[in-house]
């Protein structure tokens, strides 16, 4: 049963990574990276590394997300492509 959860989380990780890479809006990309970090933390928690999962949520989704949003607020929101 646990392999089904892990397989679903792996699929969601790939999906959010593709969304983060393909989106043109920088704020949407930051949100996708935050979701990616949460899915990574869930996968780590399922594997039994709860302390590493907690650190991933705090640093990956929390601090990094806040810093990226603050940086985007100081410049244009869309990419130049």
Arithmetic mean of pLDDT over the chain: 90
H helices of the chain, where? 2-22, 26-47, 50-55, 64-73
pLDDT class of 79 with cuts at 50, 70, 90: low
State the pLDDT at residue 15.
96
Q: Record the pTM.
A: 0.85
Mean pLDDT to the nearest integer, 48-75: 91
By the 10 Å C-beta count (0-12 exposed, 13-18 middle, 19+ buried), 53 is classed as: buried
Q: Where exactly are the structural domains of the chain?
A: 2-73
Q: Is the pLDDT of residue 60 over 90?
A: no
State the pLDDT at residue 75.
83
In 10 A of CB 21, how many CB atoms?
10
């Amino acid at each position: 049963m646990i392999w089904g959860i892990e397989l679903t989380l792996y699929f969601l990780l790939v999906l959010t990574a593709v969304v983060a890479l393909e989106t043109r809006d920088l704020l949407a990309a930051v949100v996708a990276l935050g979701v990616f970090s949460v899915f990574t933390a869930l996968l780590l928690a399922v594997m039994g590394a709860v302390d590493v999962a907690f650190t991933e949520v705090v640093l990956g989704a929390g601090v990094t997300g806040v810093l990226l949003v603050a940086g985007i607020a100081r410049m244009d929101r869309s990419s130049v492509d």
